[in-house]
Structure 1
Amino acid sequence: MQTSDEFAQSLRLASTLHRSAKLRGIRLNDLEAKVFNRRLDPPYDVSTELEPSISVAEREVTFQVAYEVTAEAEGEEIFKIKCEFQAGYSHELESVSDEMVSTFGNVIVLATLHPYARELVHRVSSDLGFPGLFLDSFDTKDLFLLLSEERIQKPPLDENYN
Structure 2
Amino acid sequence: MADPLFPAGDHEAGSTIHVFPGRHVLGRAEAARYLGITPRRLFLMELARCGPVALERGRYRTDALDVYRVELFLSAGLPASEGERRNGLAASLSPAAPAPHDPFMDMATQHDLLEVGTFIGARVAIAVGLIVIVLSHTPLSRVLFHVIR
TM-score normalised to structure 2 length: 0.29
TM-score (norm 1): 0.27
Which structure would you say has the larger Rg?
2
More helix by share: 2
Larger RCO, structures 1/2 (Cα 8 Å, 6+ apart) = 1
